[in-house]
A and B are shown apart, each in its own frame.
Chain A
Amino acid sequence: MTNKALSLTAAGVETEVMPVRGRVVKSKGMRDLLTFLMVFGPGLIVMVADNDAGAVSTYSQAGAQYGTHLLWIVLLLLPVCYFIQEMVVRLGIATGKGHAAMIYQRFGKWWGLFSLVDLQLVNFLTLVTEFAAINLALTKMGVDPRYGVPLAAVGLVFLVMTGSYRRWERTVVFLCLLDFAWFAIAFRLGPPLGQIVKHALVPSLPAGGITPELMFLVIAIVGTTIAPWQLFFQQSCIADKRLRFADLKWARLDTFLGACVTITAAVCMMIAGAASHTHGFRFTDPAQMAADIGTFAGPVMRNLILLMMINAAVLGTTAISLSSAWAYGEVRGWPHSLQLPWREARGFYSLYLLSVAAAAGIVLIPRAPLQLIILGVQVLAGVILPSAIIFLQLLLNDKELLGEYANKPWNNWVNWTIISVLFILSLILAAQVAAPNLFPSAAGGPTT
């Protein structure tokens, strides 16, 4: 329906506007609920997509090696990922621009190019690992990956090329909601509830205490929960959705709920890993873990875990490819919106298509150096995460840019603490990967 309403522009000028479509509701409660549902999306998507194939692997390995002992670390990451992404929400709503464009404009060409190239590289390598996971899961399900992987790639391309942001968002939110299947998996396989609650709320160490292997896994968990592409993705997504200042509180709620869902799903993945360990299986990869679980929980459970692994990789792929395409489009000044049809944003869609097609193609090459690619992802992620977060923190303290939306002193205390910890962990992780001889006993650590 069409309605006439009053609006204040950001400059404070009252204007009469004619919204194209609006919905009339009779109570404030319904107004709030409907507004939230309209704003809802970017926060949930960025958080759930962060539980990509690499995350499934890391969390299930943590469970397979240390049972439920590391649940409290995952729970600690809930406020961390919320605080970081909340800053992105403020930045996106206040400026209406993407993160890459902002770094370019506020810090100059050198830092802009550095961030962009680093992001594109690490994103592409991560995409290869997503398709490698699809390949692995399809093979375990008895589907020929030579057909399955290209089919997944074609589906991912069609998902974004509808010329409608809303259509893309609804489909991806549906895929995100499928993540609730992890709850069913954990419920079916899980240890007693008391043990889960105890290990989630009371910090404890597994038998053997702090070892280099444990440290490496903890760093991998942190690294997989907070990824650089998330900053770029959510800000661009908010800009593309054209969220308004009045939407800020709902966008924060969206992000918080997304953080709760992703952390709970991570806990469930860890519980699944712990179940395979309890039955005496040794962890090699999540697809094998699913097959192992199938031997005592039945084929339905095996196929469900494999399907969830594919879903995680699909969500990761669409979000990561979009963060690359949005970032490149912003910096180059190309039209870069999911609202645009192909003919009006050829560069933006071509970049998405190329990255998806190339990543899928590499996975299908026999004897492709996947281990080298995973190593590259770890090193580059170690480089880009502290850089991206430093830029984010500086931008959030930029009163000229954000005015009343700039960080408050308490925000800065929290954020600098998070940044310091991330900096140290990223440095240790990257040092471990780049120079394994520095930590000889930690060789053969997990992949992220």
Chain B
Amino acid sequence: MATMANPIDMQAGKDHFVVVHPLDDVLETKVDMDALGPMPMTRSVRVSLLSLRAYLILMVLLVVYHVVMLAR
């Protein structure tokens, strides 16, 4: 899981601050995607992906209809 890094990397002392460009800073540890693997198929995920499939099928049918109409 991702956690917020404390922005103290920009504070070098009490009377001054050091600001570092992201490209010059040390690499931050992010969430390990490989360790997570695929998303768990909860009910909401399954319903969303099924709706998406239905939408895509409908779109393909519309395009086929368009091609048939053009051919006639």
Contact = CB atoms under 8 A, between A and B. Distances in A.
A binds B: yes
A107 interface: yes
Interface in B14-30: 15-30
Contacts of B6: 8, 246
A11 interface: yes
A403 interface: yes
Contacts of B12: 3-5, 24
Nearest to A114: B56
The A interface is mostly helix, strand or loop, or mixed, namely helix
Interface in A79-135: 94-97, 101-102, 105-108, 111
A244 B25 contact: yes
Interface size class of A (residues with CB under 8 A): 35 or more
A166 interface: yes
Contact of A245 (B11, B28, B36, B49): B28
Interface size class of B (residues with CB under 8 A): 35 or more
Contact of B55 (A4, A165, A386): A386
Interface string A398-426: 11111111000000000000000001000
B71 interface: no
Contacts of B29: 9-11
Going nearest first, the 10 A-B pairs with the smallest beta carbon separation are: A403-B1, A246-B7, A10-B29, A96-B30, A434-B62, A94-B2, A7-B9, A31-B17, A106-B39, A434-B66
Interface of B: 1-12, 15-31, 33-34, 36-40, 44-45, 48-49, 51-52, 55-56, 58-59, 62-63, 65-66, 69
Interface of A: 3-12, 15, 17, 19-28, 30-31, 34-35, 38-39, 94-97, 101-102, 105-108, 111, 165-166, 241-248, 339, 379, 382-383, 386-387, 390, 393-395, 397-405, 423, 427, 430-431, 434-437
